[in-house]
């Protein structure tokens, strides 16, 4: 009976989250945040949510990209990933942003994307979107928390609901224990230092759960 109850609860939970639309919007120069976005996508699909993985438009000049082989390789490998638009934001019930830190702040590519959403904001289209953020930097104190807080400052202006992971699952401690959102250190070799896959997947599921409560509770 206990097993059947558990299976029933899991099925009910999945059905509850199946009407949530999640946009995972990322910026990545060499692939770290794209990988985080893919892990979030895997978790969202498992939860039954409808999902889009989207990138923000690149602003860097072609010469700068070409001067970095890893950057050029990533741009080439992800050329078929669609770019995020205002329509995607309006479509989504929940949004996960995955962005690297740039001097303790958002990269200009992500910042411009947010700055262009004045029309949505002015028409109340950003209110009650459930938002969560993830980030990366070359060292643990390279601005990871500051970047997420900068993102969330914009989200407060949107009237969005921030679904930070906090310490809601033990898996978060193994990933560095950042309560604002999953963050990862990337070494000089371009590889992630911490094992954050589990933390990303938990954060994605939590974001969807909160969005389901907001969406279904409002009906």
18-74 pLDDT per residue, tens: 699 999 999 999 999 999 999 999 999 999 999 999 999 999 999 999 999 999 999
What integer pLDDT is reported at residue 189 of this predicted model? 86
3-state secondary structure of 134: strand
What integer pLDDT is reported at residue 188 of this predicted model? 84
- The domain segmentation of the chain, as residue ranges, is 20-217
d(CA 86, CA 179): 28
CATH superfamily of this structure's domain 20-217: Flavodoxin domain (3.40.50.360)
What integer pLDDT is reported at residue 4 of this predicted model? 52
3-state secondary structure of 97: strand
CA 18, 13, 8: angle at the middle one, nearest 5? 125
Q: Which residues contact 29 (CB under 8 A, 6 or more apart)?
A: 60, 68, 71, 74, 100
CA 215, 28, 101: angle at the middle one, nearest 5? 85
d(CA 213, CA 181): 20
Helix axes 197-217, 32-47, angle to 10 degrees: 50
Residue 49 in tokens: 């949510």
Residues of the chain with pLDDT under 50: 1, 7-8, 14
What integer pLDDT is reported at residue 118 of this predicted model? 96
| pTM score above 0.85 | yes
What integer pLDDT is reported at residue 30 of this predicted model? 93
């Amino acid at each position: 009976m206990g097993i059947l109850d558990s299976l029933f609860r899991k099925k009910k939970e999945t059905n509850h989250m199946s009407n949530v639309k999640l946009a995972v919007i990322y910026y990545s120069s060499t692939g770290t945040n794209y990988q985080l976005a893919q892990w979030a996508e895997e978790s969202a699909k498992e939860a039954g949510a409808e999902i889009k993985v989207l990138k923000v438009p690149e602003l860097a000049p072609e010469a700068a990209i070409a001067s970095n082989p890893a950057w050029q390789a990533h741009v080439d490998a992800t050329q078929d990933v669609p770019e995020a638009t205002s329509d995607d934001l309006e479509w989504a019930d929940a949004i996960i942003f995955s962005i690297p830190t740039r001097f303790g702040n958002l990269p200009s590519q992500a910042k411009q994307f947010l700055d262009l959403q004045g029309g949505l904001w002015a028409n109340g289209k950003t209110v009650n979107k459930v938002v969560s953020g993830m980030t990366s930097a070359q060292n643990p104190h390279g601005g990871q928390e500051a970047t997420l807080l900068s993102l969330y400052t914009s989200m407060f202006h949107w009237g969005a609901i921030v679904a930070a992971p906090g310490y809601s699952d033990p898996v978060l401690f193994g990933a560095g224990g950042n309560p604002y959102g999953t963050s990862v250190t990337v070494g000089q070799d371009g590889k992630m230092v911490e094992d954050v896959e589990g933390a990303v997947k938990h954060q994605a599921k939590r974001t969807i759960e909160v969005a389901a409560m907001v969406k279904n509770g409002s009906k």
